[in-house]
Structure 1
Amino acid sequence: MTALTLSTAAAAGLRADAIVVGIAKGAAGPVVAPGAEAVDKAYDGNLASVLETLGASGAEGEVTKVPAPSGFKAPVVLAVGLGSEPEKDEIFEAEALRRAAGVASRALSGSKKAAFALPVQDAEDAGAIAEGALLGAYSFDAYKESGKDPKNAKAPLAEIAILGGKPRDKAYKAEIERALALTEELNRARDLINTPPNDLNPEAFAAVATAAGKEHGLKVQVLDVKALEKGGYGGILGVGAGSASGPRLVKISYSAGRGKKHLAFVGKGITYDSGGISLKPAGHNETMKCDMAGAAAVFAAVVTAARLKLDVNVTGWLALAENMPSGSATRPGDVLRMYSGKTVEVLNTDAEGRLVLADAIAKASEETPDAIVDVATLTGAMVLALGNRTFGIMANDDAFRTSIHEVAEEVGEPAWPMPLPAHLVKGMDSPTADIANMGERMGGGLVAGLFLKEFVGEGITWAHLDIAGPAFNEGGPFGYTPKGGTGSAVRTLVRLAERTAAGDLG
């Protein structure tokens, strides 16, 4: 686990493997960002020129290493690009600081300690740097030979010191504590997403939630197959029917007290998705261990809310199942009776996420929370619409959709509001059931949202986050985002809970 401290020490006298400074793209070339004044002075004010000679421009994600000046205890200065220099009287945005800190952490993997001399104007800046650095330091090597022997592994950066902070200032301390709690839980979500499905089936995921509940004082209830059958959860049971690993519905609750606002988060937890009888083609199922990323995000958000002692009640619902083909699997053409009482004709068993979510949303609605937000790697159509880095937001309330979009952008998670066109509902008409689990092919992500809307309790505000694109990064790492599981939507859910606790969402 990476250690994190605020430091008032001078950069020259700090024992570290590297001093991290920021550079930005100025009108006439790279410029040294605030926070690195002492380092620049040691280069006689020529640090930007030295870096430009080495090809640095200050572009976002750029990394340049130079020997530290004479008299510094750290041997290396690592300059990381912050992107364009802010206009006069403006400051670097928090997301630019997060990304730069993340890039620096990845570049210093294997180092023991780094001192970050990036721009810190206030406590929020210190928190953003801490968050980015801790997320960038993430690695997942539990299944590699090197991961079994710490001596052979290229361990993540072990200690981070943020210069320019105020260790005794309550606001700064609170931001650092928040960053530690949030990133530890987000990185745990990443671990869950990256864990192979032979080691993370529904029962194993439920056990992780139960253990976390005991650790952080959360109430956890696990419905196994017998309980699901008794309760009539036809959607979850139908999806899990083909697997030797039975499904689960996990309720994990953080209570701030009676009379507080109540948020319900619902996560799709398909621990492996083969497509079922509607089998996915080769090339489309190798990464389907990530199909439980929504449940991982919900789990991490509830635990973070508890660790931060937020003044809001938060309930997480993890709809866990493994979607496999077998003699007992649900077939295309089967009709399932859902928890709500509605019947669903299953036209495609690979449209399974909406089935488990529908049961969990209907159950969550019985508690009449102030709002329900579901999170799911739900549709390839959303990836086609928004790409690999942006998730879609749908809702039955335009103002709530706008609020979630604002929250997502605030924490640095690219998102975009999407409509729920009423005319697409007719495409889900079924001759034998109340509704089919498929509709028109075009606008498939919106059809899925409309399907879920049918199971939301009357009068309850609801939003749906389709994180199919950003949940799993199959490309190279960037900023503080690693290859593999990303923990998408965790920060949005946590900030939503924080704003609700503060009374900012009405």
Structure 2
Amino acid sequence: MADLSLSPTALTLSDQNPVDAKVDALVVGTHPTADGVAVVGADLPPALVDELVRLAKPLGLAGAADEVRTLPAGAACAADLLVLTGLGATGADGTFDTEALRRAAGAAMRSLAGSSTVAVALPSTSVADVAAIAEGALLGAYTYTRYRSTASSKVRRSDDGAPGTDVSRPPAAVEVVTPLADDADAEAAVERAAILAAAVHGARDLVNAAPNDLFPAAFADAAKAAVKGTGIKVTVLDDKQLVAGGYGGLVGVGQGSTRGPRLVKVAYTPPKPASKVAIVGKGITFDSGGISLKPGPGMEAMKSDMSGAAAVLHTVVAAARLGLPVAVTGWLCLAENMPSGSAQRPSDVLTMRGGTTVEVLNTDAEGRLVMADGLVAATEEEPDVVLDIATLTGAQMVALGRRVSAVMGDEAVRGEVTAAAAATGEQFWPMPLPDELRATLKSKVADLANIGERWGGMLIAGVFLREFVGSTPWAHLDIAGPAFNEKSAFGYTPAGGTGVGVRTLLGLIEARAAR
């Protein structure tokens, strides 16, 4: 059984016949075929399968990903409801890849908020399948209710106006029905899924928090709370310490706010680590653009500009909970970028940690300034590799859209990131850092300018950051679009904060642990 303290949803494995599961809802899969739609689920009675296939056309089912239909189960099942979740097309070998399973389980769970017990009977012929289904179910079982003021706002009322289902509450208990229920590796996969989902949910919660509640000092307090019981050491540098330490980027960006910046170090150090990994996260708790003020439309989403720092914090926590034999140090670069009489101005010159001077030509290109300080601090400790993750540029969305993140940097490290992303179900696309773009960052008065030419803005930001890593192997992850879902929920991804990056970063650390 998964650690119940990590999630409001308990997940177990079962090898019972799914039609005998006495649950609120039984989840089975659908997928398109040449003749229509097929229904798949372990040990389903042929008569039930035939009936569901017959109903597919009048129900408008296609078996596509994210397609979910809920029906009364009838006498064929002990469950009250039967949930059909689309898996999409099979692969060439007739099976489903792990991301299809993960996404189908997550989509079904999102539709079942308010149900108490659920059995998920999707195809699982390997431990990897079980892991994907467990992850998808737990990732999909997420709701954010911190600011709901009354119980009535969480309740779907019945037709007669009487209180009905609490739609803000995720399912309390989920059974994954699989023939591998007694397999030790499958049980270990469920334990990992619980830790992973808790980390993603923790990052989502931070991203979804209102910026009047989550400012730099409050984020630092949240980090202290998140690491309790893990053995992770937390160090917080406040305004005065940042000035004394020469962290010009953090000080410059944060000086326009009444709520000063922080640099938070969270360090997990197991005995005799196989590798030392440093992760730096952008933590702009609200980005108004500063003096270079952003336009009003869409500014509310700028509470998500700390998504990188949220991912870093909870990746370190997950690594510690898994007991991985890799030292992982996270650096949370926290500031609030506000316009005021004390805010930094275009044409100000900052001296970064390490002595590099930067002319600020646009105060809305602030993320790279705080990240530069964090990268220098991280590399001073001589890790084997340093990764940074940030909602850094709007150009990332222009290039890759809302669901695909970018990765730049040293080829070997970039390859580690894309491999980890592919293994864990996140989408990261490798991008170049052309040397000729460095010339666009020339300043007439300082070592660097904080912006270059318009074209290739995502790459130019990466070239800027490269100036602060020295010879340390490095990769930069730009998650500007995927970090905050402003559209409808899909698969296991909710609207709002997504927690993107946690799975990829943790997967990379696990891969290093397995070397």
Question: Shorter-normalised TM-score: what interval?
Answer: over 0.9
What are the residue-to-residue correspondences of 1:6-25 with 2, within 5 Å?
Answer: 6-25=13-32
Are 2:394 and 1:380 equivalent residues in the alignment?
yes
Is the alpha carbon distance of 1:44 and 1:353 closer, same or farther for their aligned partners in structure 2, counting shifts above 3 Å?
closer
2:503 pairs with 1:491: yes
CA positional deviation for 1:326: 0.8
Deviant stretches of 4+, over 3 Å: 146-153, 165-168
Q: Which digits, 9 at most, give the CA deviation of each residue in 1:210-254, with x for residues without a partner?
A: 122232110111111111111110110000001011100000011
| Alignment-mate amino acid for residue 18 of structure 1 | A
Aligned equivalents of 2:129 and 2:191: distance in 1? 14
The answer to which of 493-502 and 164-173 deviates more is 164-173
From 152, 155, 170, the counterpart of 1:156: 170
Q: What SS is found at the alignment partner of 2:329?
A: strand
Find the counterpart in structure 1 of residue 112 from structure 2.
108
Aligned counterpart for 1:472 among listed residues 480, 484, 488: 484
2:53 counterpart residue number: 48
1:368 Cα offset (Å): 1.0
Matched residue pairs, number? 498
**Which segment is superposed worse, 61-70 or 176-185?**
61-70
* Matched position secondary structure for 1:12: helix
Paired residues for 1:19-38 under 5 Å: 19-33=26-40, 36-38=41-43
2:88 to 76, 83, 86: 83
In structure 1, distance between residues paired with 2:475 and 2:18: 47
CA distance in 1, matches of 2:307, 2:341: 28
- Write out aligned runs for 1:338-487 (5 A): 338-395=352-409, 397-457=410-470, 459-487=471-499
Amino acid at match of 1:27: A
Moved more, 154-163 or 292-301: 154-163
TM-score of the superposed pair, with normalisation by structure 2: 0.94
Q: 1: distance between equivalents of 2:214 and 2:68?
A: 37
Structure 1: runs of 5+ lacking an equivalent: none
2:326 to 312, 319, 326: 312
TM-score normalised over the length of structure 1:
0.96
Superposed CA offset, 1:396-419 (max 9, x none): x21221221121122111111111
Measured in 1, the distance between the counterparts of 2:488 and 2:408 equals 29
Q: Separation in 1 of the partners of 2:185 and 2:422?
A: 22
Return the match for 1:95 from 81, 92, 99: 99
Q: Which moved more, 1:418-427 or 1:78-87?
A: 78-87
Contact 2:18 2:42 in 1 (8 A): no
TM superposition shift of 1:40: 3.9
Q: Aligned partners of 2:440 and 2:297: how far apart in 1? A: 29
Q: Which secondary structure does the structure 2 equivalent of 1:160 belong to?
A: strand
Residue 66 (structure 2) aligned to one of 61, 64, 75: 61
Task: Report the secondary structure of 1:184's partner residue.
Answer: helix
- Decide whether the 8 Å contact of 1:43 with 1:69 is kept in 2: no
CA–CA separation in structure 2 for the residues paired with 1:331 and 1:181: 43
2:4 alignment partner in structure 1: none
Distance 2:151 2:274 in 1: 44
- For 2:107, give the aligned amino acid: V
* Correspondence list, 1:226-375, <5 A: 226-375=240-389
| CA distance in structure 1 between the aligned counterparts of 2:254 and 2:66, rounded to whole angstroms | 43
Shift of 1:435: 0.4
- Letter matched to residue 103 of structure 1: A
Structure-2 separation of matches of 1:289 and 1:409: 28
Instruction: Report the more deviating stretch, 211-220 or 298-307.
Output: 211-220
Q: Is the 8 A contact 2:253 2:336 kept in 1?
A: yes
**Residue ranges of structure 2 left out of the alignment (5+ in a row):** 1-7, 156-162
Task: Provide the rounded CA distance (Å) in 2 between the counterparts of 1:486 and 1:132.
Answer: 13
Letter in 2 for 1:9: Q
**Cα pair distance change 1:481/1:454, threshold 3 Å:** same
| Residue identity in the other structure for 1:367 | E
> How far 1:147 moved relative to its partner?
5.8
Residue 179 of structure 1 deviates from its aligned partner by 0.4
Which residue of the partner structure matches residue 195 of structure 1?
A: 209
Say what the alpha-carbon RMSD is for the aligned residues.
1.5
Q: Which moved more, 1:90-99 or 1:257-266?
A: 257-266
In the alignment, is residue 4 of structure 1 matched against residue 11 of structure 2?
A: yes
CA distance in 2, matches of 1:190, 1:44: 38
* Amino acid across the alignment from 2:426: E
For residue 202 of structure 1, report the CA deviation from its aligned partner: 0.5
| Compared CA separation, residues 146 and 96, structure 1 to 2 (3 A) | farther
Percent identity, please: 52
CA contact (8 A) 2:37 2:53 kept: yes
Rounded Cα–Cα distance in structure 1 between residues aligned with 2:68 and 2:228: 42
Q: Secondary structure at the match of 1:49?
A: helix
Find the counterpart in structure 2 of residue 214 from structure 1. 228
- Tell me, in whole angstroms, the C-alpha distance in 2 between the residues paired with 1:315 and 1:220: 10
Kindly state the Cα deviation for residue 149 of structure 1 after the two structures are TM-superposed: 8.4
After TM superposition, the structure 1 = structure 2 runs for residues 111-150 of structure 1, keeping only pairs within 5 Å, are 111-146=115-150
Q: 1:312·1:500 contact (CA, 8 Å) conserved in 2?
A: yes
